[in-house]
Amino acid sequence: MDGRKSASSGKASGATKRKEPPSGTGNARGGQGNNGQAKDGRPPNRAPKRVKFHDARNIRTQPSDAALEDGRLDLQRFLNAREFEIKALESSMRKCKAVNATRVFQQVPRAMRRRTASHNVKRIPKRLRERARKEQIDDKTPTIEARRRRPRTTRARIRAETAKKLGILAARKKKKMLDNTAEGAAGTSVQPTVETRAPRPKIRRNTLNQAPKIKSKFRKRQINKTWLPTHVWHAKRATMTEPSHPLWRFAIPLTPTQKCYRPIHRASGQKGAVAWDMSYMSTIGLYGSDEGAERVLRAIGLTQESIWGGRGRNWRAGARKWTGFLSKQRKEGRRDIGPATIIWNPEEEMDLTHPKKSQRQIFIRTHPSCFLELFQELLKLVKMQTPQLHVEDLRFEIGSIEITGPGSTETLLGIIQPYYDKPEAKENQARIFKSLDGVTNPASLPKDALLAFSAMDPRLGHPSKSNKSSTGSVSSTLLDTLTNWPIGENPKPYGLFSRDSRYAASKLPSLKSINRRKGTGLPGNGLRVTAVDPPIPVILFASRPATDGQAQGTWTLLAPWKCILPVWYSLMHYPLSSGGNPHLGGLEEQRQIAFEQGAPWFPVDFPGTEAGASWELEQREKRLRDWGRRPKGKRVEWRSLDLGAGRKGEIGDGLACDFEYLFRLPKDDAQKETGNCDASVPDPDAMQIDGIEYHEPREVSHSSLLMVQHMEKASFNALFSSANLGKAPAYSVITVQLTFVTRGIANVCARIYRLPTRAPTVIPPSTDTEVPATPLPSPGLPSDLRDHWLANLPLKSIHPNVGSSRGRQGRRQQQQATRQFLPGTNLAERKSLLARSLVTTSLPYPAPSATQKDIGGHPFCPSEEDLIGFVTSGSFSLSEGKGTAIGSISAERAFGALKGAGAKEGKLCVVRNAGESVGWLARWEAI
């Protein structure tokens, strides 16, 4: 028995293909330790993985002692040693190439690598699969095929059984079709069938329209939401919204699956392009007389006389667009709805023989979060007009794509080709678009520029070739085009406004037929337009950043809903002249770019609108769920937060931008009976910590949050610059940009304080009769808290001349600025302070303990009376190189700060993150 066993073991050892590693003793490389195990934890005498690759990379060398003889250099021996090493290097290079030291998975670009790529050949490009399969066979890498894997769960088993049944049905159907084809070829009579065309989708007036007809296999997945035209493409490459929790009734891509924060920052401003499928943006059509359309637009906020006068002639003629905020009239005043873009359709040339009253067409493109609010307001207004106008819901008729970055214009020029049969039939606006070669920033175009023409199917010229001439050089022709913008005063009507043109463009030929046509021609040549290729009506317009700075602009492409997918495929595969392809962007990338440009993003940064209020309530529920999932030891306890000076507990709700707490908004009757008490009313059952009462956050409804209203920057500046400083509307907030003076990064829900007044703020003493074991500091904030915060300003902010001059005079000014004492300091105290500064060395560690005047060396945060707002977006800005934030502050309290301290010092504020006790000095600017 032992003999057979030893023989079998010897046979197995002799049949092995791997080399046995050299056995060693002691602590030599690859040897065993004292416990009989190798240094890397493997069993002794175990063949290391991929030994042949290590042997190929091992280069033999000869020590330099062989070339020395009695301390003298022997030249012949030295040359022989170097010859040996050179030959060893060349041999190693040949071995590495022979044994394929570079794996296939190391040749795949980093963005295409996957964690499980080494076990699944199908996860790499097709051109490398055969080589990868051979490597796996040589290395004996286990491979698993999904179709042969045994299901482990009930759901997987049901899916496998369903797939098997569907395969059987598909095989029967295919067999039946082959039999019918064989009968037809043999001349057997086949029952005639009737072929009908697909019905044109109905567009109802003055009511909401339904989504386009969905394929049966995708119908159950779109019961409570609508897919974008590029949903299947995005679902494989991006993180989508949860199926049971859609966003704005759409399945929207949130962010790409690969890490792209810094690449998106570079592509949007330095090199490359970023594209989004914005088909979830809602479009409303307004139709009627010219006078009635003007009255309706004035009623929704377009009250500027400039756009209805001579300056707005191009906009009303259809040669420009208008972008701004829409509003509606309420009893308490006007209330903002949301941002919108308005485009007029040019009028047709009137026939003098048969004159008739002109009917205008207008597109209103708005955000989906405020679509229903705007649609209901327009529906109410059009019914009040005589003659009556009508509106149409065009959400599923018109899709859109946005692209930004230096390569955005190059990408559009490469994939959008004008549609024409003859060169002389080329449209004028199409000629202008093709002349924009060399534009690297869409913001350089004239303000509110707009182009509309018919384009070819981009699949006819796919794959697109890179435009090497787009190197950023600006020609004189391009400068003349950008300066004069040669668009006629009376452009022709746009095809995108025509329902028949949109329907004809949606009947594009199938990709299979296009590939069949390409197969009959020469490789590399595009296809010519035929009668089966309908023109695609498009509208292109360039938008400037909201901050009107030097940031990149954005191109927006409007096209029929069913034409977005072919355009998207060609756009994402366009080879940029700077290298690579356009990057995919999601909702988070939109917020990132807007944040780095210092612009607010709707609806997050607009809590004074209905859409912003709904967003805030949804985010509160999400933050509360995330907070509840954390263990008690790893989540913030809002009750025990120490704010210094005897203050305990967070101000308001720590998981919300608590504008209800800021404005002391009233509660509903139902909440007055069951809700928590107001912070201003003492509650005998409230929790007491260290003598300071902590009250639970107020529970408010959506109606209470809707009392907060947004105030625009122009209205705020006009009210502040007026001779008689008026009073801001009640519960009004303004959107501001926060820039930290020194350090600090603000998160969402951070508290914004104005600088406290120099009058002392006293906290009422506790009514607790128990005497603590240790003496507590006297409650109350220091009377000079404002001076402590102002002392954190940099010297350049206090003394602008410091550091501006060079040489001896500049150093003298800096020394005088740094050797200042507080007013009222006598000579003895000055000597004492000077001696202490010479012998004392401040270390950053350990952090100083909290005292009666600061917390760890930081001044106390101001009191609750100085709270003026909250941060809605905040992070580290890559464009600024420091922390910035976007917030909303009370207009009334901002007026008070500016009136009391002036325009410069009144804009200083303190920002404190929720759940933290340390604040940071910042400066706010209205945007």
Q: How many CB atoms lie within 10 A of CB 357?
A: 7
How wide is the angle at C-alpha 875 spanned by C-alphas 870 and 879, nearest 5°? 125
Query: Do 385 and 296 meet the contact criterion of CB atoms below 8 Å apart?
Result: yes
For β-strands 919-926 and 253-256, DSSP reports them as unpaired
- Residue 275: per-residue pLDDT: 98
Looking up tokens 């699956």 gives 257
What is the helix (H) or strand (E) element at residue 515, kind and residue range? helix 511-520
Query: Do 536 and 419 meet the contact criterion of CB atoms below 8 Å apart?
Result: yes
Query: Do 64 and 81 meet the contact criterion of CB atoms below 8 Å apart?
Result: yes
Share of the chain above pLDDT 70, in %: 76
How far from 42 is each of 46, 47, 48, CA to CA, in Å? Answer: 7, 9, 9
Among the listed residues 563, 203, 252, the one whose alpha carbon sits nearest the alpha carbon of residue 399: 563
- Residue 832: per-residue pLDDT: 81
Q: Is 65 exposed, middle or buried (0-12, 13-18, 19+ CB in 10 A)?
A: exposed
Q: How far apart are CA 142 and CA 144, in angstroms?
A: 7
- Residue 193: per-residue pLDDT: 66
* List of residues 6+ apart from 220 with CB closer than 8 A: none
- Residue 355: per-residue pLDDT: 63
pTM of the model: 0.77
User: For 116-123, which contacts have Cβ atoms below 8 Å and span 24 or more sequence positions?
Assistant: 119/143, 119/144, 120/144
Among the listed residues 137, 139, 74, the one whose alpha carbon sits nearest the alpha carbon of residue 101: 139
Q: Is the pLDDT of residue 89 over 80?
A: yes
Q: How far apart are CA 93 and CA 789, in angstroms?
A: 66
Q: Is 165 exposed, middle or buried (0-12, 13-18, 19+ CB in 10 A)?
A: exposed
Q: Is the peptide bond before 21 cis (omega within 30 degrees of 0)?
A: no
* DSSP label at residue 701: -
Q: Is the pLDDT of residue 739 over 80?
A: yes
For β-strands 709-710 and 732-740, DSSP reports them as parallel
Q: Is the pLDDT of residue 362 over 60?
A: yes
Mean pLDDT, to the nearest integer, of 223-238?
A: 94
Band (pLDDT 50/70/90 cuts) for residue 31 is: very low
- Residue 795: per-residue pLDDT: 67
- Residue 663: per-residue pLDDT: 94
Q: How far apart are CA 426 and CA 582, in angstroms?
A: 28
- Residue 202: per-residue pLDDT: 87
Identify which has the larger pLDDT, 193 or 38.
193
User: For 147-151, which contacts have Cβ atoms below 8 Å and span 24 or more sequence positions?
Assistant: none
- Residue 550: per-residue pLDDT: 78
Mean pLDDT, to the nearest integer, of 356-360?
A: 80
Identify which has the larger pLDDT, 124 or 234.
234
- Residue 672: per-residue pLDDT: 42
Q: How far apart are CA 710 and CA 734, in angstroms?
A: 6
Band (pLDDT 50/70/90 cuts) for residue 808 is: very low
Mean pLDDT, to the nearest integer, of 315-325?
A: 94
Mean pLDDT, to the nearest integer, of 873-892?
A: 95
Q: Is the pLDDT of residue 15 over 60?
A: no
- Residue 547: per-residue pLDDT: 78
Compute the chain's Rg from CA coordinates.
Answer: 36
pLDDT, one tens digit per residue, over 522-554 is 887 889 999 999 999 999 999 998 876 678 999
| Lowest-pLDDT range of 67-71, 650-654, 735-739 | 67-71
Mean pLDDT, to the nearest integer, of 818-847?
A: 65
Secondary structure of 149-188 in HEC code, one letter for each residue: CCCCCHHHHHHHHHHHHHHHHHHHHHHHHHHHHHHHHHCC
Among the listed residues 18, 47, 46, 44, the one whose alpha carbon sits nearest the alpha carbon of residue 33: 44
For 845, phi then psi, to 5°, come to -140, 150
- Residue 413: per-residue pLDDT: 95
- Residue 57: per-residue pLDDT: 66
- Residue 189: per-residue pLDDT: 54
Q: Is the pLDDT of residue 14 over 70?
A: no
pLDDT, one tens digit per residue, over 375-421 is 999 999 999 998 889 999 999 999 999 999 999 999 999 999 999 87
- The overall average pLDDT reported for the chain is 81
Q: 3-state class of 59 per DSSP?
A: coil
Band (pLDDT 50/70/90 cuts) for residue 900 is: confident
Q: Is the pLDDT of residue 671 over 80?
A: no
Q: Is the pLDDT of residue 23 over 50?
A: no
Q: How far apart are CA 276 and CA 408, in angstroms?
A: 12
Bridge partners of residue 784, in order along the sequence: none
- Residue 702: per-residue pLDDT: 67
Q: Is the pLDDT of residue 5 over 80?
A: no
- Residue 765: per-residue pLDDT: 52
Tokens of 616: 């805030």
8-12, 350-354, 474-478, 729-733: which has the highest mean pLDDT?
729-733
- Residue 192: per-residue pLDDT: 61
- Residue 417: per-residue pLDDT: 94
- Residue 812: per-residue pLDDT: 46
Identify which has the larger pLDDT, 99 or 182.
182
Share of the chain above pLDDT 90, in %: 51
Q: Is the pLDDT of residue 519 over 60?
A: yes
Among the listed residues 365, 372, 392, 659, the one whose alpha carbon sits nearest the alpha carbon of residue 539: 365
Q: How far apart are CA 655 and CA 638, in angstroms?
A: 10
DSSP labels, 560-619: EGGGHHHHHHHHHT---TTSS-PEE--HHHHHHHHHHTT---TTTT-TTSHHHHHHHHHH
pLDDT, one tens digit per residue, over 259-272 is 899 999 999 999 99
pLDDT, one tens digit per residue, over 441-499 is 999 999 999 999 999 999 999 888 888 765 555 678 898 899 889 877 678 999 999 99
* DSSP label at residue 46: P
Q: How many CB atoms lie within 10 A of CB 234?
A: 22
How far from 191 is each of 172, 184, 187, CA to CA, in Å? Answer: 20, 10, 12
- Residue 71: per-residue pLDDT: 75
pLDDT, one tens digit per residue, over 145-183 is 666 778 889 998 998 899 999 999 999 999 998 888 887
- Residue 595: per-residue pLDDT: 96
4-13, 167-176, 335-344: which has the highest mean pLDDT?
335-344
- Residue 165: per-residue pLDDT: 93
- Residue 329: per-residue pLDDT: 93
CA atoms within 13 A on the CB side of 444: 18
Q: Is the pLDDT of residue 680 over 50?
A: no
